[in-house]
């Protein structure tokens, strides 16, 4: 129950009323300045001024009241806040707001009996305060006292007549009772709806019909809701859901478009829904034109929303139109020049589509603007690596290390990448140094273990150490053909060709036949073992794949 927030909100909303009242009643200048500071959310200054006011005028009930608010909001000191509110009540026991907020404070500190008791007294004195009734109902619900919550609801409904808000409250109360079924709630709503027809209640009836597998009845209630209010989006959404279950796809797209086009709905909710639809690639392929329309409607409804742009870019990428993804995110970055997220998403799509030249150029432009962020440096380094600009890539990775990042994942990736780059540049000393640093941070990183072991094997150095590192990778991932190849090749270099052959046979079962390097290595092992005919077969296969 968000009772603390309500307590603070109410105190804020009546602050102006106190300002108007006190300005005409001879309050001190300290008090007026304190209220002004409070209204401006300058709580520390307000606290000091209210304290000064109370030293001069200890019977100022309003000053005690606001001091209680500050104790709660600024310090989360609810015990001190309670003392202040009680003092305010003792000075003016007729003030509704003092006692009401004291009741809210009781609720915020899990003393619901005190909260309910004080609210019941307030309701006796103020029988027309409907909101107070709902506070009491909520308090009873927090106590788990559903009968008394129902009784309170009965009283207010008897006095004010049937209304949608009372039906919703009763449904919530009914749902808290273990014996309540979907049928019983449907029956209650159905009877209530006869005297209180609203689009929301009609839609709720439709939703319960869906739960009870009464699809045609559900569609009927959704249609009634739309007749009552043809802009009621929840009814269109309900209809679309039933249409989809019944495979009535023409009606489904017609109805779900109302949901997508509703400008008052949070675009994140729509994005989540469409993301779930995209989880069915067959559906997206079958209804590609209709899905395109939904996506374009979404963007037209929320043209500048970053979540929507991200979703649409993902949609275009997943439907094999990466050029549209790139253009969309490029334009988003142009339209939002100060947005890190817009720039990053643009660079990421360039990375996924392997547009290395553009990625390098764009990252270079963004780096000074976004304070040389590590993620932008890393993306540029990746682009430069793929463009075979190894020295420039090394400079980017070293720049990352100079900033001393605390993220261990960043450190491992950076050291690992430097290891590979230095090796490609023929600098084994620096290559091995960075692999050692990576393993010191994360000793079980398979990628680092494999690459380090393989490069040691190529150099013919520390083969036993390389074998142990490689062994760890295949123990962790026994069916990874790349790791199996490294381990088997090291065994071959150590003269253990029989064992190497067994490892290679296993690697071929798990994708090794698709890698010419693995086939070439296997052929070499077979050659050493004297199996020349079989060796020639695999060597020829490897050479055919390399053409």
Determine the Cα–Cα distance for residues 107 and 103; give it in Å rounded to an integer.
6
Q: In the chain, what is the greatest distance between 2 CA atoms, to the nearest angstrom? A: 109
Question: Span 275-353: which CATH code?
Answer: 1.25.40
Convert the pLDDT of each residue in 246-291 to its tens digit. Answer: 999 999 999 999 999 999 999 999 999 999 999 999 999 999 999 9
Distance of CA 456 to the CA centre of its chain: 43
Q: Is 111 helix (H, G, I), strand (E, B) or coil?
A: coil
Q: Are 344 and 313 in contact (CB under 8 A)?
A: no
Distance set, CA 6 to CA 3, 30, 153, 280 (Å) = 5, 27, 21, 42
| pLDDT of res. 18 | 46
Tally of CB atoms within 10 A around 172: 14
Q: What is residue 491's predicted lDDT score, i.e. its pLDDT?
A: 95
Q: How far is CA 221 from CA 69, 200, 208, 218, 261, in A?
A: 47, 10, 10, 5, 22
Rg over alpha carbons for the chain, rounded to the nearest Å, is 35
Fold match between domain 181-262 and domain 356-443: yes
CATH superfamily membership of 181-262? Tetratricopeptide repeat domain (1.25.40.10)
Query: Cα(517)–Cα(541) distance, rounded to whole angstroms?
Result: 10
Q: Which CATH architecture has domain 471-547?
A: Alpha Horseshoe (1.25)
Asked if residue 376 lies in contact with residue 370, where contact means CB atoms within 8 angstroms, the answer is yes
**C-alpha distance from residue 205 to each of 22, 162, 178, 234 (Å):** 51, 17, 20, 12
CA gap 469, 461 in Å, rounded: 13
Q: Considering the entire predicted model, what is its pTM?
A: 0.67
pLDDT of residue 118: 87
Q: Is the model's pLDDT at 19 over the cut of 60?
A: no
Enter the DSSP assignment of 265.
S
CATH for the stretch 356-443: 1.25.40.10
Do residues 159 and 147 touch, judged by C-beta distance below 8 A?
no
Helix residue ranges per DSSP H, 144-266: 146-160, 164-175, 182-195, 199-211, 215-228, 233-245, 249-261
Does residue 57 sit in helix, strand or coil?
coil
Q: Where are the domains of the chain?
A: 181-262, 275-353, 356-443, 471-547
pLDDT digits (tens, 9 = 90+) for 155-206: 778 777 888 988 998 898 888 888 889 999 999 999 999 999 999 999 999 9
Q: Per the structure block, which two tokens stand in for 204?
A: 């709720």
109 in Cβ contact with 76 (< 8 Å): no
Does the pLDDT value for residue 22 go beyond 60?
no
Give CA–CA dist 449/470, Å, rounded. Answer: 6
| Mean pLDDT for the stretch of residues 311-323 | 93
């Amino acid at each position: 129950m968000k009772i603390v927030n309500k307590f603070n909100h109410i105190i804020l909303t009546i602050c102006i009323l106190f300002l108007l009242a006190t300005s005409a009643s001879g309050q001190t200048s300290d008090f007026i300045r304190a209220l002004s500071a409070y209204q401006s959310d300058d709580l520390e200054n307000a606290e000091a001024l209210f304290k000064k006011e109370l030293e001069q005028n200890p019977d100022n009930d309003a000053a005690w009241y606001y001091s209680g608010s500050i104790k709660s909001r600024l310090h989360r000191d609810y015990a001190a806040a309670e003392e202040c509110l009680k003092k305010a009540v003792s000075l003016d026991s007729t003030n509704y707001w003092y006692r009401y907020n004291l009741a809210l404070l009781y609720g915020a500190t899990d003393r619901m009996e005190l909260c309910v008791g004080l609210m019941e007294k307030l309701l006796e004195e103020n029988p027309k305060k409907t909101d107070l009734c709902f506070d009491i109902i909520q308090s009873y619900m927090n106590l788990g006292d559903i009968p008394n919550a129902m009784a309170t609801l009965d009283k207010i409904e008897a006095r004010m007549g049937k209304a949608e808000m009372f039906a919703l409250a009763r449904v919530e109360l009914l749902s808290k009772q273990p014996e309540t079924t979907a049928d019983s709630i449907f029956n209650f709503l159905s009877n209530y709806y006869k005297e209180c027809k609203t689009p929301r209640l009609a839609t709720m009836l439709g939703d319960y019909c869906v739960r009870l597998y009464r699809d045609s009845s559900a569609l009927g209630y959704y249609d009634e809701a739309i007749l009552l209010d043809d802009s009621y989006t929840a009814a269109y959404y309900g209809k679309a859901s039933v249409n989809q279950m019944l495979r009535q796809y023409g009606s489904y797209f017609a109805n779900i478009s109302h949901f997508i086009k509703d400008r008052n709905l949070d675009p994140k909710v729509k994005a989540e829904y469409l993301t779930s639809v995209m989880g069915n690639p067959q559906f997206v392929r079958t209804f590609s034109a209709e899905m395109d329309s939904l996506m374009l409607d979404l963007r037209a409804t929320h043209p500048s929303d970053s979540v929507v742009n991200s979703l649409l870019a993902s949609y275009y990428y997943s439907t094999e139109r990466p050029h549209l993804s790139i253009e969309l995110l490029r334009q988003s970055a142009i339209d939002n020049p100060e947005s890190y997220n817009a720039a990053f998403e643009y660079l990421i799509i360039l990375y996924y589509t392997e547009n290395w030249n553009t990625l390098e150029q764009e990252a270079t432009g963004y780096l000074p603007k976004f304070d040389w962020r590590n993620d932008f440096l890393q993306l540029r380094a990746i682009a430069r690596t793929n463009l075979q600009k190894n020295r420039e890539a090394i400079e980017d990775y070293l720049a990352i290390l100079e900033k001393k990042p605390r993220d261990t994942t960043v450190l491992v990736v950076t050291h690992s990448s430097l290891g590979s780059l230095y090796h490609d540049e023929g600098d084994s000393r620096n290559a091995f140094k960075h692999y050692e640093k990576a393993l010191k941070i994360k000793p079980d990183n398979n990628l680092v273990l494999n690459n380090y072991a393989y490069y040691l094997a190529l150099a013919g150095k520390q083969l036993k150490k390389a074998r142990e590192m490689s062994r760890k990778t295949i123990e962790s991932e026994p069916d990874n053909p790349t790791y199996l190849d490294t381990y088997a090749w090291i065994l071959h270099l150590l003269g253990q060709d029989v064992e190497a052959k067994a490892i290679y046979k296993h690697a071929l079962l798990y994708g090794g036949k698709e890698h010419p390097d693995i086939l070439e290595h296997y052929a070499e092992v077979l050659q050493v073992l004297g199996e020349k005919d079989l060796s020639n077969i695999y060597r020829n296969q490897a050479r055919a794949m390399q053409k």
